[in-house]
Amino acid sequence: MNRAEKRRQQKITRKENKKYLARKPGGGKLDSQQNQSTLLALDTAVRYHSAGDLSKAEGIYRQILQTDPNQPDALHLIGTISLQVGKYEDAVELIFKSIQIKPGNVNALNNLGDALKMSGQPEKAVDYLVKAIDINPNYAEIHNNLGAALQDTGRLDEAIVSYRKAIELNPNYAEAHNNLANTLRASGHLEQAVDSYRNSIDINPNYAEAHNNLGTTLQDLGHLNEAADYFRSAIDIKPGFAAAHRHLTAVKKHSKYDDDIRNMEKIFLQPDTTDEQKMNLAFGLGKAFEDLHQYEKAFEYFVEGNSIKRKTFNFEIEQTEKHVRSLKTAFDDALFARNRAAGCANKTPIFILGMPRSGTTLVEQILASHPNVHAGGELNVLSDAVTSSFDKVKYPDRLDHVSSEIFSHLGDKYILSIREKFTDSAFVTDKMPYNFMHIGIIKLILPNARIIHCRRSPQDTCLSIFKSLFTSEGNEFSHDQIELGQYYNLYLELMDHWHTVMPGHIYDIQYEDIVGDQEEQSRALLAHCGLEWDEACLKFYKTVRPVTTASSVQVRQPIYRDSIQSWKRYEKQLSPLLKTLQ
């Protein structure tokens, strides 16, 4: 790290400290009933804390607590240090104790909410942040933090309201503008998100994260050159911004070994580069060297990136295996026979499902090019309905006790949900790949819905998954070759079951067949969906719509054959996967 970078980092650290060390809104001194020496010690510690010397600050806070273990300000402030260095559980414990002693400390309530959110307890975070707002409703930072906690609980509309309130109280709050944009993007309002990101950057031109986020949103909207410009801006501001480096490789086709690759390699080898940075850089370098046809080197980086990612979570393929077995047992011929009259008759949804990277985005783009179809993208509506309507312990084991009326109600609820979002088109696609787990439920609650199952060569599908860094939950199987192969085998097993218990209800479409004869496959696809032929479906790459998946770049291009049997480039390296698939 050079001197300029160190100075910039110190400036950021001081800014972060101000966030946690804000006294009572509007200024004022620490509220303490302790003696003068305690107040002087606290004041000294806060000065170190504000300057970024966390070690000295913590030492003084601990000295104060040795004398008085219940000193609320010292408990709160040492808790903020734990929060800053990522010890979130310690932060929760310390700040909570402080609040028990001094319940009305708004700043402590705010920091406790932040700590609870970071420790994976956003629901509890919401409770404490609401308490803080009740005490002082004009504290912009608390509204911003509440928005973040609400977003983590999936309450996106409420999060948007909180961010807008923070901005109303402080129009120059760049972080709140950025966070609002993130939530608007997650809600599917990408154009509004672009405006909010631009507002954030106008306020703080050196806000690297906002530049990067704007770049990813522009990429989703198909503005690839402009997206690249913002990724470069993020990197100029923050040279070690590994995610921005990776995003740049996604929108750029590398034709030579250039400075972009050299910079990624340099950062990757620096001793102070974190695992998260290395992970992002590894996937970016893998993509870059694959562009250059240096496949051995590319795969080494893909392995490195996946290895780092795999260490960040617990995953047991046995749990997936158990769930697939349960689905096969529960969704039998008898269940469907008992519920022949169940479900909502509405024909609006077209479910597009299958393994990730199997062509689901391409199929949706073809359908979305038809004037009577609206692309819904990857919706969580169905999985949320299953989670909220059935006891997790009993689903799917006790479906034989569920009445036909319940299934019909769920179908009505699904239709109402998508119609609230998409009001105009005759058909709406739901392109959540993992809905292949829910085909049985789809048949029961929406018997007239079309189900399009996207298939692709197992080897190419799994390779494409392995080369992708998934940032959302649900893809834990994808970062180890053997686990990836085992998951794919379970997927095939389950799809065989669905075809057996509901013959003719699922429409299979093969990616390689689309590439081989796009028009014939597109005509057959539209006919199955009850749609008249439209020439626009052949020029799907010209259809302007947001695409937020890993295929956002590919579907902006005409059909190409480069990805057919691409796994053969890596046949030797893929040996563990190939043996598992066999």
pLDDT digits 0-9 by tens, 432-480: 999 999 999 999 999 999 999 999 999 999 999 999 998 888 899 999 9
> What is the residue-wise DSSP string for 93-106?
HHHHHHHHHSTT-H
> Where are the CATH 1.25.40.10 domain residues in the chain?
1-171
Instruction: Output the pLDDT for position 383.
Output: 87
CATH number of 318-581: 3.40.50.300
Query: pLDDT tens-digit profile of 502-528?
Result: 999 999 999 999 999 999 999 999 999
Cα 289 to Cα 292: distance, rounded to the nearest angstrom: 5
Average pLDDT over residues 207-217: 97
CB crowding 226-257: b at 16 or more within 10 Å, else e: bbbbbbbbbbebbbbbbbbbbbbbbbbeeeee
Q: Are 99 and 112 in contact (CB under 8 A)?
A: yes
Average pLDDT over residues 289-310: 97
Instruction: Output the pLDDT for position 554.
Output: 61
pLDDT at 10 over 60: no
Comparing 303 with 542, the larger pLDDT belongs to: 303
By CB atoms closer than 10 A (0-12, 13-18, 19+), residue 565 is: middle
pLDDT band, residue 555 (cuts 50/70/90): low
Helix runs in 372-510, H state only:
381-389, 404-421, 439-445, 458-466, 481-501
* CA 133 vs CA 30, 106, 113, 236: distances in Å: 20, 8, 11, 38
Q: Are 325 and 331 in contact (CB under 8 A)?
A: no
Please write down the long-range contacts of 331-339, taking CB distance under 8 Å and 24 or more positions apart: 331/396, 331/399, 331/440, 331/497, 331/498, 331/501, 332/501, 333/501, 334/400, 335/399, 335/400, 335/440, 335/444, 336/443, 336/444, 336/501, 336/502, 338/400, 338/404, 339/404, 339/407, 339/444
Residue 59, token pair as written in the block: 């030492």
pLDDT band, residue 546 (cuts 50/70/90): low
pLDDT band, residue 330 (cuts 50/70/90): very high
Instruction: Output the pLDDT for position 473.
Output: 81
pLDDT at 486 over 90: yes
Query: pLDDT tens-digit profile of 560-572?
Result: 677 788 999 999 9
pLDDT at 125 over 50: yes
Instruction: Output the pLDDT for position 421.
Output: 82
Query: pLDDT tens-digit profile of 374-433?
Result: 988 888 889 888 888 876 557 898 888 889 999 999 999 999 999 888 877 899 999 999
By CB atoms closer than 10 A (0-12, 13-18, 19+), residue 204 is: middle
- Number of alpha carbons in the 13 Å side-chain half-sphere of residue 42: 24
pLDDT at 25 over 60: no
The radius of gyration of the chain from alpha carbons, rounded to an integer in Å, stands at: 26
Average pLDDT over residues 254-275: 96
Residue 272, token pair as written in the block: 């102070």
Nearest to 338 by CA among 432, 282, 401: 401
Query: pLDDT tens-digit profile of 139-188?
Result: 999 999 999 999 999 899 999 999 999 999 999 999 999 999 999 998 88
pLDDT at 14 over 70: no
pLDDT at 117 over 50: yes
For tokens 């004869």, the residue is: 517
Cα 426 to Cα 413: distance, rounded to the nearest angstrom: 18
pLDDT at 249 over 80: yes
Comparing 78 with 552, the larger pLDDT belongs to: 78
Query: pLDDT tens-digit profile of 62-111?
Result: 999 998 999 999 999 999 999 999 999 999 999 999 999 999 899 999 99
Cα 98 to Cα 101: distance, rounded to the nearest angstrom: 5
pLDDT at 7 over 80: no
Where on the phi/psi map is residue 20: left (φ > 0), alpha (ψ -120 to 50), or beta?
alpha
Instruction: Output the pLDDT for position 185.
Output: 93
Instruction: Output the pLDDT for position 34.
Output: 52
> Where are the CATH 3.40.50.300 domain residues in the chain?
318-581
Cα 11 to Cα 201: distance, rounded to the nearest angstrom: 18
pLDDT at 35 over 70: yes
Q: Which fold has domain 1-171?
A: 1.25.40
Instruction: Output the pLDDT for position 28.
Output: 35
